[in-house]
Amino acid sequence: KNQVEQSPQSLIILEGKNCTLQCNYTVSPFSNLRWYKQDTGRGPVSLTIMTFSENTKSNGRYTATLDADTKQSSLHITASQLSDSASYICVVSAAETDKLIFGTGTRLQVFP
Amino acid sequence: DAGVIQSPRHEVTEMGQEVTLRCKPISGHNSLFWYRQTMMRGLELLIYFNNNVPIDDSGMPEDRFSAKMPNASFSTLKIQPSEPRDSAVYFCASTESLGLAGGPADTQYFGPGTRLTVL
């Protein structure tokens, strides 16, 4: 069964610290993996999209990694800011069917 | 560009009533997606269109839900009759591309969502 699991469910860190969010998937065949940031009360915003051949992609202080062999991805946030407080959603696209399988998200809170 | 526009932003209705949600995608975008988000189930894809044609509606929960895209700049999601379990935030998103292969043109741009409450 195609699944996407994210961990941790929630995370609290202090401003300025780094953190890493995890995404494990069982989707096959794999097409691409996306990370979204969703602020409370807003729509998700795309951070990165990675295909099979890409193992790292950055967007400012956000760096996503992908290991297609182990079917794992991580989102690393460097020097966190209060504005990073949000939910981060991992989405995997299945090849051939173009199905999108969503993780349930990690809720990140950054405190001063 | 104003981004993806959705209306209304909030809708409160009574069980059994018809509800129509509206979406205007980003001009020039070729694909449009409808999502539903709840605390229990997270974000779910309901249906998506390529060039105004429905491609995959397997996420539509049941016959009470229907979606149309009469032209490239407008789409509706209708629930008739509505039920309390339909209460959720409904998002519309659009992409420049026609697929989900993962290229830059596949970046999805989401609207602000419509918060639906069915009493």
For residue B12, is pLDDT > 80? yes
Contact A31 B100 (CB under 8 A): yes
pLDDT at residue B1, rounded to an integer: 65
Percentage of chain B surpassing pLDDT 70? 93
Within 13 A of A41's CA, how many CA atoms are on the CB side? 2
Residue B46: CB partners within 8 Å, gap ≥ 6? B34, B35, B36, B57, B59, B60, B61, B65, B67, B77
Instruction: Decide: A30 and A71 in contact? Cβ < 8 Å.
Output: yes
In a mutagenesis test of the B interface, which of A30, A55, A96, A102 is the best target, namely the one with the most B β-carbons within 10 Å? A102
pLDDT at residue B104, rounded to an integer: 61
Q: Give the confidence band of A23 by pLDDT, cuts at 50, 70, 90.
A: very high
Residues linked to residue A67 through DSSP beta bridges, in sequence order: A72
- The residue ranges of DSSP E strands in B39-103, in sequence order, are 42-50, 53-56, 65-71, 74-79, 88-95
Nearest CA in chain A to B107: A46
The two tokens of residue B59 are 């996420």
The two tokens of residue B115 are 């918060």
pLDDT at residue B2, rounded to an integer: 81
Contact B42 A98 (CB under 8 A): no
pLDDT at residue B62, rounded to an integer: 84
Q: From CA B117, how far away is CA B10, in angstroms rounded? A: 8
Q: Give the confidence band of B35 by pLDDT, cuts at 50, 70, 90.
A: very high
Instruction: Decide: A38 and A50 in contact? Cβ < 8 Å.
Output: no
Percentage of chain B surpassing pLDDT 90? 76
User: What is the average per-residue pLDDT within A15-26?
Assistant: 97
Residue A6: CB partners within 8 Å, gap ≥ 6? A21, A22, A23, A24, A88, A89, A90, A103, A104, A105, A106
Locate all alpha helices (DSSP H) within B1-110, ordered by sequence.
none
Per-residue pLDDT of A52-98, as tens digits, reads 888 999 999 999 999 999 999 999 999 999 999 999 999 998 887 76
Provide the residue type at A11 as one letter.
L
Per-residue pLDDT of B67-118, as tens digits, reads 999 999 999 999 999 999 999 999 999 998 876 666 666 888 999 999 999 9
Q: Name the least confident of A20-24, A50-54, A97-101, B92-96.
A: A97-101
